[in-house]
Structure 1
Amino acid sequence: MGAPEVLVLGEALVDIVETDDRVTEHVGGSPANVAVGVARLGVPVRLATRLGRDERGERIARHVREAGAEVAEASWTEAPTDTARARIRPDGSAQYDFDVAGVVPPVPRGDAALVHTGSIALFLDPGGETCLAALEAARGEAIVTVDPNIRPALVGSRQTALARFARAAAAADLVKLSDEDAEWLWPGADADGVLETIAGLGAAAVVMTRGREGAIGRAPDGAVVEVAGVAVTVADTIGAGDSFMASLIATLVDRGLPADADALADAMGVAARAAAITVSRPGANPPTRAELED
C-alpha cells in the first residue's frame, strides 16, 4: 500500500466474548474494526487510537498491521488496553459491558483523502473533542464519514449525545447509523424522518442499516433508496455494521461521494454483502476485497 488515504480515529479494544460454553477474546472496537475492514479492501489506512503497552495492546496492533493498516505512533500509552465484555444472546446479538478511557490522540490529517470517526471515542471526553476537531478541520478538504454506533451506557444523556452527534453530522459528507442508533437518538421516529433529520444537520448522504432487512439511504439529491439484506447463517453480529461502514469508505475513496440514488444504492449493496460475510463467521472478521468480489 502507498501513503494512507484514510485516517480513522477512535477506540481499539479487546472483545471478551462469552457464550454458554466458552470465553474467547477478539480484537474489536468499532473504529479499529473499520480500519481493518478498509485495509482488507486494499485501501491504505492509518488508525489513531489508544493502546496500552501490554499483551492486549500488542495483539491489537499486530491484528491491525496484519490487515495492512498503520497504527499512529501517538496511540501508545502506559495505561491498560481497553476491553469490552460481550455476552452473546441466542439470536447471535451481543450485550456489552465496557472498560474504556475514551482518549484519542490528536493526529494530523496529512494526505488522507477521507477521515472517519464514531462510536465511543466520539462521545466520551476528552477524546470526543479531539475527534470532532479532526472532522471539522477536514470538512471541505477531505471526505468526512461518521458512524455514531451508540453505546447507551457510555454516551451520557440523550440531550448531550444529540448535541455531539449534531456537530459531527454537520461536518460529515456521509453518516452511517443503525436502526438501533436511530431509535435511541430519536425514539419512535420513522426511517425517512431520521434520514431527513440527519441530512438537515448537514450530512450530504445518510445510510441506516436495518440488520436482516438490509439498509435504507438518502442520497445527496434527496432521493431515498433501499437495499435488501443478504441471507446467511449467522455466527454472531459482532462487527457487521463496521464491515458495512468499511465497505462504504472503500467505495467513497474509489469513486467519490455518491451523487445520486443509483450510486448510493450500488455502494450500499456492496456494503450489505460485506456485512453478510462478517456475520457468517465469529467475531469482527471483515472480508478481503477478493472475498467481497467472489
Structure 2
Amino acid sequence: MPERSGALVIGEALMDLVDDGTSITRSPGGSPANVALGLARLGVETRLRTALGPDDDGRAILERLEGSGVGVDPESLSLERTSTALAVLDASGAAMYDFDIEWRLPSPVAADSAAVVHSGSIALFLEPGASVVADALASRPADVLVSLDPNIRPALLGERSEVRATFESLAATADLVKLSDEDAEWLYPGEPLGDVLDRLLDLGVALAAATRGGDGAILATRAARVEVESLPVQVRDTVGAGDTFMAALIAGVLQLDGRAALAELGEADLLRLGRFAATAAGVTVSRVGADLPTADEVARAQQAAAVDRGTTGAAGTVVW
C-alpha cells in the first residue's frame, strides 16, 4: 500500500469585500481555503485544489496561502476572474450580501496521495464543480479518510430538501463531519443538535462534531459523546472560527491510526481532541479577521488553559 501523508483540501477560495459606505476592505476567504491555511499553520503538509483567476485578487489569495506553506495545485488557476463575496453595511452595521462566485474544476482531482481529503461549503453544492468534488471523494482509496464541513450558505443554495439529500449522500462517504448549530438548524429545522449528530453516525460517520459558538462544541462517536467549552477569550470577531476548529480536528485525527481508531475514541480522547480544536478557534476569535493560529500559538494557549484547569502537560507542546 502506498505511503500517504498530509491533507488534500478541495474547495473554493475567494475574496471577501466589506463596504462600510466609506471604503471597501478586501481579505482572502473561502471556508476550504481557510481550512487549508489552518492545517498548514498547524504543521500539516497541505495541498489545495481550488479555482482562481489570474487577477490581483487571485494573486493575493495565492500569496497568503503559499506564504503559510499551502501547496496550491497549478490547475487551480482556471477562472477568468476570482470569485468575490461583497457585504454592504448599512448605518446600523447590518449587511446585505452580493455573491459573484463561480465554482468550476476543469479536470478530475486525484485524492490518492494524502492521508485525508477535506471539502466543504459552496464546493459541495454549487455545480459544475460539486460533481467533480463528489467524484473525488467517491473514488479515493479506501484508506484515505474523508472530512466534510457543510458550512451552509443559504443564499447560494437551492431547495432545502435537495441540499439535505446532497449533504447526506456525501456524509455517507465521510469519516469526519463537522457542522455548526446554524448549519444543523438549516438542514434539520427544529431537530435537537444531539439528534442531528446521531443522524450522521447512523449514516456511517466515525466522528461527528457540532460547534455552538460561545457555548462550545459537542463531539460524538458511537463509543462516546462529550461537550467541550470554548476558550475564555476577549472576542474581536468570529471570522474563521469554524474553519479553525475544522482544521484542528483534522490535524488531531491525522495523529490517529486510521478509521478504526477514529471510531473508537472514548471520552478522554474526545475531550483532548475537542479542547485542542476549541483552543485553536479561541486564538482566532481573539484577533481580527480569519487569522488562523500556528502550532506554537495553539501550544501556548493550550498551556495557559491547562493551568486554569489544573491539567498541565509539557510546556510548548500541542496536546490534542
Evaluate the alpha carbon distance shift between residue 263 and residue 64 of structure 1 in structure 2; reply closer, same or farther with a 3 A threshold: same
**9-18 vs 33-42, greater mean Cα deviation:** 9-18
Between the two structures, name the one with larger relative contact order (CA 8 Å, sep ≥ 6): 1
What letter corresponds to residue 100 of structure 1 in structure 2? I
Evaluate the alpha carbon distance shift between residue 213 and residue 95 of structure 1 in structure 2; reply closer, same or farther with a 3 A threshold: farther
8 Å CA contact retained: 1:15, 1:83: yes
Aligned residues: 291
8 Å CA contact retained: 1:226, 1:265: yes
User: Could you give the per-residue CA deviations for residues 124-156 of structure 1, whole angstroms, max 9, x where no partner exists?
Assistant: 111111111111222622111000000001121
Question: 1 CA distance for matches of 2:29 and 2:56?
Answer: 15
User: Could you give the per-residue CA deviations for residues 88-116 of structure 1, whole angstroms, max 9, x where no partner exists?
Assistant: 79999977432111223522123100000
SS in structure 2 opposite 1:216?
strand
8 Å CA contact retained: 2:112, 2:141: no
Q: Select which of 128, 144, 148 maps to 2:130.
A: 128
8 Å CA contact retained: 1:258, 1:264: no
Question: 2 CA distance for matches of 1:94 and 1:224?
Answer: 37
Evaluate the alpha carbon distance shift between residue 96 and residue 277 of structure 1 in structure 2; reply closer, same or farther with a 3 A threshold: farther
Question: 2 CA distance for matches of 1:269 and 1:102?
Answer: 34
State how 1:15-164 maps to structure 2 within 5 Å: 15-19=16-20, 22-86=23-87, 96-104=97-105, 105-138=107-140, 140-164=142-166
Paired position in structure 2 for 1:264 = 270
Superposition RMSD in Å: 2.2
What letter corresponds to residue 53 of structure 2 in structure 1? G
Paired position in structure 2 for 1:13 = 14
Taking structure 1 as the reference length, the TM-score comes to 0.93
Question: 2 CA distance for matches of 1:230 and 1:88?
Answer: 29
Paired position in structure 1 for 2:296 = 290
Question: 1 CA distance for matches of 2:20 and 2:232?
Answer: 23
Question: 2 CA distance for matches of 1:91 and 1:171?
Answer: 43
**117-126 vs 261-270, greater mean Cα deviation:** 261-270
User: Could you give the per-residue CA deviations for residues 140-195 of structure 1, whole angstroms, max 9, x where no partner exists?
Assistant: 22111000000001121111111110111101001000000000000011111110
Question: 1 CA distance for matches of 2:81 and 2:247?
Answer: 27
What letter corresponds to residue 235 of structure 1 in structure 2? R
Alpha-carbon shift at residue 117 of structure 1 (Å): 0.2
Structure 1: which 5+ residue stretches go unaligned? none
Question: 1 CA distance for matches of 2:103 and 2:181?
Answer: 24
Taking structure 2 as the reference length, the TM-score comes to 0.85
Paired position in structure 2 for 1:238 = 239
Question: 1 CA distance for matches of 2:143 and 2:170?
Answer: 15
Question: 1 CA distance for matches of 2:139 and 2:91?
Answer: 43
Paired position in structure 1 for 2:195 = 193
Structure 2: which 5+ residue stretches go unaligned? 301-320
Alpha-carbon shift at residue 259 of structure 1 (Å): 2.4
8 Å CA contact retained: 2:111, 2:141: no
What letter corresponds to residue 179 of structure 1 in structure 2? D
Question: 2 CA distance for matches of 1:240 and 1:94?
Answer: 19
* Amino-acid identity (%): 47
Question: 2 CA distance for matches of 1:172 and 1:132?
Answer: 11
Evaluate the alpha carbon distance shift between residue 98 and residue 163 of structure 1 in structure 2; reply closer, same or farther with a 3 A threshold: same
Evaluate the alpha carbon distance shift between residue 86 and residue 37 of structure 1 in structure 2; reply closer, same or farther with a 3 A threshold: farther
Q: Select which of 286, 291, 300 maps to 1:280.
A: 286
Evaluate the alpha carbon distance shift between residue 174 and residue 210 of structure 1 in structure 2; reply closer, same or farther with a 3 A threshold: same
8 Å CA contact retained: 2:201, 2:221: no
User: Could you give the per-residue CA deviations for residues 207-226 of structure 1, whole angstroms, max 9, x where no partner exists?
Assistant: 000000000121242x2210
8 Å CA contact retained: 1:139, 1:171: no
